[in-house]
Amino acid sequence: MLLNWLRIYRYLLPVRACVRGHYQVDEPFSYGSLRFKNRIGLSAGFDKNAETFDELADFGFGFLEVGTVTPDYQPGNPSSRIFRLVEDESLISRTGFNNCGVDVALAHIRRHRKHSYILGVNINKNPLSVGEQIIKDFELVFTRLYESVDYFTLNWGSIDKESFAKVLENFTTFREAVNKRCSIFIKLPADIDEKELDLVISLAYKYSIEGFIATGPTMDRSELHQTKTKQLEKIGNGGVSGRGIGKKSQKVVHYLSEHTDRHFLIIGAGGIMTAEDAADMISQGADMVQIYSAFIYSGPSVVHKIGKKLKH
């Protein structure tokens, strides 16, 4: 419903100018070659096909992440695949990387990118790819998109560790060949343990990765205190985002901050529902924040509220 409204809003140019003026959050932040208008971003998963990111930027985001994008079109899991848990301010999702494929996503980005913001893309392989095809899938998406976006995000745990290292090695070689510093971030799952974190950090140092996004959803449902067990059983499998992540994301951010000597950009995500949550994430060591569930539950005003809180 919201995406359909944004497609109509796209053509209301005077209205858009007013909205941008009202929701604008000016708190410039720089990291390497990236120049952010502010420290608030929209997580991947909201604009999977890169159709409405330009319109979403009007509401105050300093950076937006589209996708997940795979080489080919993917139908994803059967509907329904996103469930609201209103009492717990959470979502359960099992989308299965439904997206239009890299060529259509690229066409959308070229057609719709009009204004000033940092644009990233979360990328992955086709679900059925194995072995060397995994490396080729990531290389295809990267080479198709690198001239049109500012950073790429790879999800730790979406492929095996050996393939993940090879993908990072390929990206490093490619960036050197084209002499373009398109940043690469690693998104971590909420349930990652310290041993895995140490491994990811070592890979990030080895392959000159710019930063981390911490974190994605959790499979743990112990923080869903208001939703009845029968309702959760009826929903079935899926990752929990929003308030139901609890403090998991903050703990990962704190660990990264303590064990990387501030060498990497740290973007806190997961469990940020209010301006106070965002401030707490920053206090744990995040440089920036990303939101998703908060935008769904609270609407565009939450971006401005977070911006004001972080500015102070």
- Taking only the tens place, the pLDDT of each residue in 215-224 is 999 999 999 9
Whether residue 312 is predicted with pLDDT greater than 80 in this model: the reply is no
* Burial bucket for residue 183 (CB in 10 Å: 0-12, 13-18, 19+): buried
Q: Distance (Å, rounded) from C-alpha 263 to C-alpha 266?
A: 9
Enumerate the active-site residues.
158
Q: Is the dihedral of CA 213, 214, 219, 223 positive or negative?
A: negative
**Which pLDDT tens digit goes with each residue over 84-101?**
999 999 999 998 889 999
CA distance between the termini of the chain: 34
Confidence at residue 40, expressed as pLDDT on a 0 to 100 scale: 97
Cα–Cα distance list, 231 to 92, 94, 227, 240 (Å): 12, 16, 7, 14
The sheet with strand 239-242 has its strands ordered as 82-85, 90-93, 239-242
Structure tokens at 79: 């509907």
Give per-residue pLDDT as tens, 145-199: 999 999 999 999 999 999 999 999 999 988 888 776 789 999 999 999 999 999 9
For the chain, give the secondary structure using H, E and C: CHHHHHHHHCCCHHHHHHHHHHHCCCCCEEECCEEECCCEEECCCCCCCCCCHHHHHCCCCCEEEEEEECCCCECCCCCCCEEEEHHHCEEEECCCCCECCHHHHHHHHHHHCCCCCEEEEEECCCCCCCCHHHHHHHHHHHHHHCCCCCEEEEECCCCCHHHHHHHHHHHHHHHHHHCCCCEEEEEECCCCCHHHHHHHHHHHHHCCCCEEEECCCECCCCCCCCCCHHHHHHHCCCEEEEHHHCCHHHHHHHHHHHHCCCCCEEEEECCCCCHHHHHHHHHCCCCEEEECHHHHHHCCHHHHHHHHHHHC
Record the tokens describing residue 187, joined without a space.
């998104």
Domains and CATH numbers, the chain: 1-311 (3.20.20.70)
Give the pair of three-digit tokens for residue 279: 């401030």
The span from the CA of 1 to the CA of 151, in Å, is: 28
pLDDT at 69 over 90: yes
As given in the structure block, the two tokens for residue 15 are 């209205």
pLDDT tens per residue across span 196-206 = 999 999 999 99
Mean per-residue pLDDT of the chain: 93
High-pLDDT (> 70) share of the chain, %? 99
Highest mean pLDDT among 32-36, 114-118, 282-286: 282-286
> Does residue 133 have a pLDDT over 80?
yes
Which residues fall within 8 angstroms of residue 241, CB to CB, at 6 or more apart? Answer: 90, 91, 93, 216, 217, 218, 270, 292, 293
The amino acid at residue 174 is F
